[in-house]
């Protein structure tokens, strides 16, 4: 009985020193990470919206017969999302057509015989591209050939051009060669008084380039022809985004961008085309507050699907890159000693070896390193990045 009591006492009764030893935390272990060879890329991730390089709204203002009672939509010829071809009829307002043509200069005046200028040349080129040449008319001058081309174009779509006012100063029209000796007088006056045609500015919508498509078709037959009836997007697709003030210094024109749609999973490549010099200000009357962000514009360098127009996409901007694989270690593995040398600590078996390194670019939580003269560092070596005081030393 005495022997048994002694065993029990020895088991459960401990000295103060033994009790302290048993409750002492385990020795800290080291956390390591392997030296890798990888391409380092310093990236900026932000959001953007896919849009066409040109967006314009079509209204019915100024369109329609002069004797019509009111300006009303009498025909719709396109629908939302529909691709557009040049020369296509968009809609009719009080019986008058509105066409889409290719051109840089917006329609800003009515054109007719005697008109000259870049907008006339643009009309001639647009019609010629559709097979309605202007004959012998000089480029930029609205003459008989242009008038005939306009007439043929309108008639091909089931319409007639708007009659214009005769020009009393215009030379005789359609004079045949060899008729120079023809007596002037009543014959010439009759030719000058011949009705002409006019191309009203409200009946032509110019887009800068194809592809073009209907972003939104709001008009329905019977609607008042006021306000925005059709929204058109045209030209190459771009992505409009923004970056925070603290990231603006990292983003510059020419940088590579990866455009990703989380909806479709599609990806495209691009590059930064523009970075605003000043932060974006909220529009007047908008409840949105300024966040100090800077607008950016991304130009795709691979095909971006037209289905993405209007979609919010992720932009991954490569601000810097090593371009080729380099030795890299986690940032936490690098330290600077009092001697001014940059080192990493390599775990070799149970030994911790302080190894001098030269550092390069840092990105994605890694630093480019190369062993200094007399040092040794290779892919697969394990460098110490910290300690884990919750576990005993394992030599991981």
Print the domain residue range for 258: 43-51+235-280+291-321
Q: Is residue 395 part of a domain?
A: no
The answer, yes or no, to whether residue 105 has pLDDT greater than 90, is: yes
For residues 262 and 269, give the distance between their C-alpha atoms in angstroms, rounded to a whole number. Answer: 15
Closest CA to 301 of 258, 266, 240, 262: 258
The more confident residue out of 363 and 87 is 87
Q: Is residue 14 part of a domain?
A: no
Q: Same domain for 194 and 264?
A: no
Which element (helix H / strand E) includes 366? strand 366-371
For residues 395 and 153, give the distance between their C-alpha atoms in angstroms, rounded to a whole number. Answer: 84
Stretch 254-275: mean pLDDT, rounded? 94
Stretch 353-379: mean pLDDT, rounded? 92
DSSP result, 317-345: EEEEE-SS-EEEEEGGG-EE-TTS-EEEE
Q: Same domain for 161 and 112?
A: yes
Tell me which residue has tokens 């991981």: 396
Q: Is residue 134 part of a domain?
A: yes
DSSP result, 102-137: E-SSPP-S-B-TT-BSHHHHHHHHHHHHTT---TTP
Q: Same domain for 105 and 213?
A: yes
* Beta carbons of 396 and 31 less than 8 angstroms apart: yes
Stretch 301-319: mean pLDDT, rounded? 88
**What percent of the chain has a predicted confidence (pLDDT) above 90?**
57
Return the pLDDT at 17.
Answer: 62
* Residue 133 confidence class, pLDDT cut points 50, 70, 90: very high
For residues 3 and 19, give the distance between their C-alpha atoms in angstroms, rounded to a whole number. Answer: 24
For the ranges 41-45, 201-205, 290-294, the maximum mean pLDDT occurs at 201-205
Q: Same domain for 333 and 314?
A: no
The answer, yes or no, to whether residue 142 has pLDDT greater than 50, is: yes
Q: Same domain for 248 and 201?
A: no
Q: Is residue 204 part of a domain?
A: yes
Q: Same domain for 195 and 312?
A: no
The answer, yes or no, to whether residue 46 has pLDDT greater than 50, is: yes
- 211 preceded by cis ω (within 30°)? yes
The answer, yes or no, to whether residue 183 has pLDDT greater than 90, is: no
* Beta carbons of 369 and 327 less than 8 angstroms apart: yes
Q: Same domain for 218 and 268?
A: no
Return the pLDDT at 211.
Answer: 86
**Which of 55-69, 127-141, 186-200 is predicted least confidently?**
186-200
The answer, yes or no, to whether residue 175 has pLDDT greater than 60, is: no
Number of domains in the chain: 3
Mean pLDDT score of the chain: 84
Measured in whole angstroms, the distance separating CA 20 from the mean position of its chain's CA atoms is: 67
In this structure, what CATH number is given to the domain that contains residue 334?
A: 2.40.420.20
Stretch 237-253: mean pLDDT, rounded? 92
The answer, yes or no, to whether residue 295 has pLDDT greater than 80, is: yes
Return the pLDDT at 337.
Answer: 76
Return the pLDDT at 290.
Answer: 64
For residues 31 and 328, give the distance between their C-alpha atoms in angstroms, rounded to a whole number. Answer: 17
Measured in whole angstroms, the distance separating CA 229 from the mean position of its chain's CA atoms is: 25
Return the pLDDT at 165.
Answer: 61
In this structure, what CATH number is given to the domain that contains residue 256?
A: 2.40.30.170
* Beta carbons of 64 and 96 less than 8 angstroms apart: yes
The answer, yes or no, to whether residue 80 has pLDDT greater than 70, is: yes
Q: Is residue 3 part of a domain?
A: no
Q: Is residue 183 part of a domain?
A: no
Return the pLDDT at 235.
Answer: 86
Q: Same domain for 76 and 158?
A: yes
With a CB cutoff of 8 Å and minimum separation 6, the contacts of 198 are 110, 111, 112, 161, 162, 163, 164
Stretch 350-377: mean pLDDT, rounded? 92
* Residue 177 confidence class, pLDDT cut points 50, 70, 90: very low
* Beta carbons of 120 and 105 less than 8 angstroms apart: no
């Amino acid at each position: 009985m005495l022997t048994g009591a002694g065993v029990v006492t020895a088991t459960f009764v401990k000295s103060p020193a033994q009790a302290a030893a048993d409750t002492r935390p385990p020795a800290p272990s080291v956390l390591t990470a392997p030296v890798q060879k990888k391409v380092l890329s310093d990236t900026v991730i932000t959001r953007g919206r896919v849009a066409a390089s040109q967006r314009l709204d079509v209204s019915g203002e100024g369109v329609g017969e002069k004797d019509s009672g009111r300006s009303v939509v009498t025909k719709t010829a396109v629908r939302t999302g529909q691709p557009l071809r040049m020369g296509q009829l968009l809609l009719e307002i009080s019986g008058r057509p509105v066409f889409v043509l290719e051109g840089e200069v917006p329609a800003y005046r009515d054109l007719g015989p005697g008109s000259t200028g870049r907008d006339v040349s643009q009309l001639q080129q647009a019609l010629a591209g559709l097979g309605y040449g202007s004959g012998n008319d000089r480029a930029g001058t609205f003459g008989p050939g242009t008038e005939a081309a306009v007439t043929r174009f309108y008639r091909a779509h089931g319409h007639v051009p708007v009659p214009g006012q005769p020009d009393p100063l215009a030379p005789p029209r359609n004079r045949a060669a060899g008729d120079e000796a023809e007596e002037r007088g009543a014959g010439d006056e009759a030719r000058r008084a011949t009705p002409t045609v006019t191309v009203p500015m409200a009946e032509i919508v110019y887009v800068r380039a194809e592809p073009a498509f209907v972003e939104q078709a709001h008009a329905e037959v019977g609607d008042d022809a006021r306000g925005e009836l059709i929204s058109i997007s045209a030209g190459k697709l771009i992505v409009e985004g923004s970056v925070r003030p603290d990231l603006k210094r990292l983003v510059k024109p020419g940088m590579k961008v990866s455009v990703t749609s989380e909806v479709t999973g599609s990806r495209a490549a691009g590059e930064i085309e523009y970075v605003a010099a000043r932060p974006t200000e909220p529009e007047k009357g908008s409840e949105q507050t300024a966040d100090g962000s800077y607008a950016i514009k991304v130009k795709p360098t691979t095909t971006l699907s037209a289905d993405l127009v209007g979609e919010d996409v992720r932009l991954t901007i490569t601000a810097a890159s090593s371009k080729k694989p380099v030795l890299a270690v986690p940032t936490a593995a690098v330290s600077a000693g009092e001697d001014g040398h940059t080192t990493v600590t390599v775990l070799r078996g149970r030994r911790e070896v302080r190894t001098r390194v030269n550092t390069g670019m840092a990105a994605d939580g890694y630093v480019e390193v190369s062993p200094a003269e007399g040092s040794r560092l290779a892919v697969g070596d394990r460098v110490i990045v910290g300690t884990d005081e919750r576990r005993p030393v394992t030599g991981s």
